Amino acid sequence: MRFQFYLPTRMIFGQNCIKQNSAKLARLGTCAFIMSGKSSAADNGCLDDMTQALSSQGIQWFHYNKVTPNPSLEDVETAAAVARKKGADFIVALGGGSPIDAAKAVAVLAAGDLPADALFSQNEFETVLPLAVVPTTAGTGSEVTPYAILTNNTMETKSFLTSDQVFPRLAFLDGRYTMNLPKKVTRATMVDALTHAIEGYLAVRATAPVQLFALESLKQIGALLPVLAADGVLDLEQREQLLYASMLAGMVISQSGTTAVHAMGYSLTYFKGLEHGVANGLLITEYLRYINRARPDDVSRLLNTLCFCSLNAMQTFFTDLLGPFSLTPKEADKFAAIAAKAGNIKNTRPEPTQEELRQILDNCFLK
Ligand code: NAP
Ligand code: ZN
């Protein structure tokens, strides 16, 4: 056996964890640039908890609430200019994957004088500002990954920043902040976590500890799927369970990365406006059918862990939960061609050809 496992984020899980650990923020710097989306951080209480914690440590802070879902390269350049102007020496992100990923990019851009597109071509930077994050969706796992996924309008897709230097230093996980997530966001983000665990388990880069985390994550998510399909109302304990499962799935992809599902899903988001998790959830079963031809034992273990009796049962579940959605043959061609060039295709075992990707898209979306 041979592997490496590097995850330098301190994960602090539990109710009131920000306030109880405010002293740890003081080690990051003296002036925080807090990044969030428009309103959810204020509504769910994490903004108040964070600003009180910072103030209690004598840390200056500035709140920037202009991060939109699927942030672009242009968005993070604008935010970095503001952070630099405010003299921030560390970044705090409050929100879903969008503010957290934007914050990772800003941590790089605000620290130096880099052109923004260097984010995608380099994975080592001279300096990166320290980062503390508070996930308020339970899905992306971005709180424990070394990735930021940004809309790349030049390439007409989503591109990756990958660097060990953007692992957050601190991740505060408090399930209370996710209590009022709308059903639609809960579904999309939970399905995103599920695809992280499945893809990470099957990835070329998967390792023994990664597979252990993936199965535990799927066990926790599988137990919640019936609730999600019924009324979608989760109590605090279930919200914590989901946040935990999402964190585990983030730990999985932090080491093993994602595969063909994410590669194809980015076009569904970029061109068709589907939420990231919905795009992945609509693709996951056909992807498993494709993998099943070469690795039936692995697929069967994943299905059992999720408590699905067959791929057909899984297909029906996700179509009912997330569908309907369709593509034209021309769109399927274009999206297969874009996905075939994505780095995570090489992380898929067996590695699909462009024609096989097209077949998966056809099976999912051509009427
Ligand atoms: P998101 O885009 O961050 O947020 C979606 C919506 O949910 C926003 O309208 C947001 O409102 C709202 N919201 C967030 N927290 C809420 C809460 N507690 N209560 C009510 N509403 C809340 O969604 P996401 O799915 O978490 O993130 C998706 C992004 O993450 C995509 O760009 C995807 O590519 C990326 N991603 C990154 C990784 C990684 O490893 N870095 C992995 C997977 C996905 P506000 O705008 O008002 O906050
Ligand atoms: Zn994802």
Sign of CA pseudo-dihedral 263, 109, 174, 208 = positive
| Ligand 1 center to 297 CA (angstroms) | 34
The pLDDT assigned to 116 comes to 87
- Which residues' Cβ are closer than 6 Å to ligand 1? 36-41, 44, 69-70, 95-99, 101, 136-137, 139-142, 145, 147-149, 158, 177-178, 180-181, 185, 189, 192, 276-277
Among protein residues, the one whose CA lies closest to atom 27 of ligand 1: 97
Task: Indicate which ligand has the atom closest to the C-alpha of 261.
Answer: 2
The pLDDT assigned to 156 comes to 83
The pLDDT assigned to 158 comes to 84
| Ligand 2 center to 262 CA (angstroms) | 6
Residues 6 or more apart whose CB falls under 8 angstroms from that of 13 comprise 173, 174, 243, 244, 247
Report helix angle 208-229 to 183-202, nearest 10. Answer: 150
Say if residue 113's pLDDT is above 90.
Answer: no
Among protein residues, the one whose CA lies closest to atom 15 of ligand 1: 136
> For 174-189, what is the mean pLDDT?
95
| Ligand 1 center to 367 CA (angstroms) | 30
Say if residue 367's pLDDT is above 90.
Answer: no
Among protein residues, the one whose CA lies closest to atom 25 of ligand 1: 189
Among protein residues, the one whose CA lies closest to atom 20 of ligand 1: 181
The pLDDT assigned to 323 comes to 86
Number of H helices, E strands in the chain: 16, 8
CB atoms within 10 A of CB 343: 12
Q: Please identify, by atom number, the ligand 1 atom nearest to the C-alpha of residue 145.
A: 40
CA distance 53 to 27: 13
CA distance 213 to 160: 23
Q: Which of 79-93, 109-123, 158-172 has the lowest mean pLDDT?
A: 109-123
Task: Indicate which ligand has the atom closest to the C-alpha of 257.
Answer: 1
Mean pLDDT value across the chain = 96
Degrees, nearest 5: CA angle 284-139-200: 50
> For 8-31, what is the mean pLDDT?
98
Query: Of all residues in the chain, what percent carry a pLDDT higher than 90?
Result: 94
| Ligand 1 center to 205 CA (angstroms) | 26
The pLDDT assigned to 232 comes to 81
SS3 250: helix
Given the structure tokens 């934007």, which residue do they identify? 102
300 vs 117, higher pLDDT? 300
Q: What's the residue count for the chain? A: 367
| Ligand 1 center to 280 CA (angstroms) | 15
Among protein residues, the one whose CA lies closest to atom 17 of ligand 1: 181
Q: Please identify, by atom number, the ligand 1 atom nearest to the C-alpha of residue 149.
A: 34
The pLDDT assigned to 356 comes to 98
> For 283-304, what is the mean pLDDT?
98
The pLDDT assigned to 117 comes to 83
pLDDT, tens digit (0-9, with 9 covering 90-100), for 313-365: 999 999 999 989 999 999 999 999 999 999 999 999 999 999 999 999 999 99
pLDDT, tens digit (0-9, with 9 covering 90-100), for 20-61: 999 999 999 999 999 999 999 999 999 999 999 999 999 999
Tokens of 298: 């692995």
Strand order across the 10-13 sheet: 10-13, 170-173, 131-135, 90-95, 31-36, 60-64
First-last CA distance in the chain: 45
pLDDT, tens digit (0-9, with 9 covering 90-100), for 191-221: 999 999 999 999 999 999 999 999 999 999 9
CA distance 93 to 100: 5
For residues 254 and 145, is the Cβ–Cβ distance under 8 A? yes
| Ligand 1 center to 309 CA (angstroms) | 31
| Ligand 2 center to 221 CA (angstroms) | 15
Say if residue 284's pLDDT is above 80.
Answer: yes
Among protein residues, the one whose CA lies closest to atom 32 of ligand 1: 70
Residues 6 or more apart whose CB falls under 8 angstroms from that of 232 comprise 183, 186, 187
pLDDT, tens digit (0-9, with 9 covering 90-100), for 141-179: 999 999 999 999 998 888 999 999 999 999 999 999 999
pLDDT, tens digit (0-9, with 9 covering 90-100), for 221-278: 999 999 998 888 999 999 999 999 999 999 999 999 999 999 999 999 999 999 999 9
